[in-house]
Amino acid sequence: MASLTKPPYDPELWEVLKNIPPELPLSLETLQAERDGLMAEKVLTDPAISHREAKIPGPGGELVVSILEAKDSTSTNRPGIYYIHGGCFILGTRLTLIKPCFEWIKQCDAVLVTVEYRLAPEHPDPAPVEDCYAGLKWFSENASKLGVNPDQIMLAGFSAGGALAAGIALMARDHNGPKTCAMCLIAPMLDDQKTTTSTSQFMSEGALTGETNATAWSWLLQGRSGEDVGIYAAPARAKDLSGLPDTWVDVGSAEVFRDECVAFAGRIWEAGGG
């Protein structure tokens, strides 16, 4: 059987990717080692950024949030960013891959809040999305105390964090929850169905493979499929994408989430969104 053709990687990116060892098959036995590797990451190294923690109420008990802002800021009416980390719902901490957000904080004089949500498979759906929604509610309710304009809070998330950001945007819309002004989804992991061409093209290749994607969804959903999967867990399943904040979807041509992201953006436009 002929191999499935796929878009090429950017030549400069390929120089990096070709030297990365292939992903090892993800299993319950290797999961903790993967988590430990991410926990060791030292990220809070920017001398211009301050960091403090707060404990907030969550649906399964206390949650920890980190609050990051510019050390020299004196404004009491700043924009807010609610950032949700990636890691396929199974890996990472609230500070995973947060370094790119430092420039947002400094350039926009923003306050960033990020939540330590529970991970699958120990805590399957709906635990992650409910924790993230609790964090957003806390941020919105305490915006003024944090020096944030409550009308200028943006959702942001990477990979699974993008799915969770979209999920809580739908949840807030459906339950008259916190208002957000915008949503930035970076390579969001939106669709559990895994039927797209890009999934097949990158089933065993790429920064994140279709095989890992399938394993992660199975751990999050614990065998559920079809109508048993809610739109807050897998936002691509939502039939109505109206009423969402203005949304930026960022995805590359040579990655597993490409087709579901393009389709999601198109359906937001079809629903009258921006």
**Does 11 fall in a domain?**
no
Domain limits for position 154: 46-270
What pLDDT was estimated at residue 168? Answer: 99
Region 53-64: mean pLDDT is 98
What pLDDT was estimated at residue 1? Answer: 38
Number of domains in the chain: 1
Please list, in sequence order, all residues whose beta carbon lies within 8 angstroms of the beta carbon of residue 246, skipping any fewer than 6 positions away.
181, 182, 183, 273, 274
Does residue 8 carry a pLDDT above 80?
A: yes
**Does 150 fall in a domain?**
yes
**Does 231 fall in a domain?**
yes
**Does 18 fall in a domain?**
no
The length of the chain, given as a count of residues: 274
Does residue 194 carry a pLDDT above 50?
A: yes
Could you read off the pLDDT of 120-165 as tens digits, one per residue?
999 999 999 999 999 999 999 999 999 999 999 999 999 999 999 9
d(CA 132, CA 35): 20
Query: Across 199-258, where does the E strand assignment appear?
Result: 246-250
Neighbour count for residue 57 (Cβ, 10 Å): 10
Q: Provide the terminal-to-terminal Cα distance of the chain, rounded to the nearest Å.
A: 42
CATH code at position 244: 3.40.50.1820
**Does 19 fall in a domain?**
no
**Does 78 fall in a domain?**
yes
**Does 59 fall in a domain?**
yes
Q: What percent of the chain has pLDDT over 90?
A: 80
Does residue 2 carry a pLDDT above 80?
A: no
pTM above 0.85, yes or no: yes
Q: What is the mean pLDDT of the chain?
A: 93
Write the CA distances from 231 to 142, 199, 227, 240, integer angstroms.
27, 20, 10, 10
**Does 20 fall in a domain?**
no
